[in-house]
A = this chain, B = another copy of it.
Amino acid sequence: MQRRILIAGGAGFLGSHLVDRLLRRHDVEKIVILDNLWTGTRGNLAHIDDKRAAFVEGSAESFATDERFDEILHLASPASPPWYMRDPIRVIQANVHGALNLRNLLKPGGRFCFTSTSEVYGDPLISPQPESYRGSVDCTGPRSSYDESKRCTESLLFECNRVYGMDIRIVRLFNVYGPRTRIDDGRAVSNFIGQALTSGVLTVYGDGRQSRSWGYVDDIADALERFFWRDHIDYIGPLNIGNDREIAVVDVAEYITKLVPGTRIEYLPPVPQDPTNRCPDLTLARKVLPGWSASIPYETGVRETLEWFKHIVRTSEAVPLAPAPVFLDR
């Protein structure tokens, strides 16, 4: 069967990696890449030379077409705190209203895939977090637009499944990094690399011993491919996807200072409410996706990301950097 696929947020960091993988499929007739270029960039798709791929500049919540799709992937949302905190209403629109709108474009029997987030766990009281953990999110707080719109979209899609039998797949992504992250993304790895390549001073907040679980984008896209593409599956989600190896923020910073000569670390006061940990319980992922693991060590991933950023810095006239104070990965 030749399939038509819509990927919303397909010009984004993770979205564009999924587009690359969709184009490797032989059962795909057409891919509509929908993106309003809020955080996505045309550059992320510049390498694509495939007649099956069609880019449409537009938003998930308002996109209209007579076309219907066999598979819809909804990734249309910024994922970095400085970005989603800047325009929270639009984040809620992109996620919830986006899902409400896009589901109407699904063929009967089609599949709707959604990238939710570990932020549905809020500031977790347990670690690692299994999918059954109900979370600790302040639904009135300054980070809630992202957390709550992802939670609400999960609810919406599970109801679409329960009430209308819609085929859904929902993952909860933990921190992802790698090539095609925006240099002004605002999260730790890209910040450190951006700083190393420009000012030479890497800012670490607090003592830097707070840990993060960073998943390299190839590992994460590999998991999504295994979960989203599969036609018959017993478990539709929510499924934690990430790297469960916890690394101290300062270890990554130190590693980057070794890779880029002449750089140094500067310690600044801790960011308020910066969570001390967020780590996936991957028990279910290992069961649902046999053979998959986040196996790329951070040293390899950081080196690859650094090479990519070097290329971007060389080829860009203006390199925007995230404004300080920068929010570290949650």
Contacts and interface: CB of A to CB of B under 8 A. Distances in A.
A-side interface size class: 35 or more
A159 B139 contact: no
B88 A92 contact: no
Contacts of A156: 88-89, 92, 145
Interface string A135-167: 111111110110111011011101110110000
Contacts of A148: 148, 151-152, 154-155
Contacts of A96: 92, 96-97, 152
A265 interface: no
A118 interface: no
Contacts of A162: 88, 142
A120 interface: yes
Given A148-B152, A151-B148, A120 B139 contact: yes
Contacts of A149: 152, 155
A284 interface: no
Given A89-B163, A97-B100, A138 B144 contact: no
Contact of A140 (B92, B142, B144, B158): B158
Interface of A: 87-89, 92-93, 96-97, 100, 120, 122, 134-142, 144-145, 147-149, 151-152, 154-156, 158-160, 162-163, 170, 237-238
21 contacts: A89-B100, A89-B159, A92-B100, A92-B156, A92-B159, A93-B100, A96-B96, A97-B97, A120-B139, A122-B134, A134-B136, A135-B139, A137-B151, A139-B154, A139-B155, A140-B158, A140-B238, A145-B159, A147-B155, A151-B151, A151-B152
Q: Which 6 interchain pairs have the tightest Cβ spacing?
A: A152-B152, A88-B159, A144-B155, A148-B155, A139-B151, A148-B152
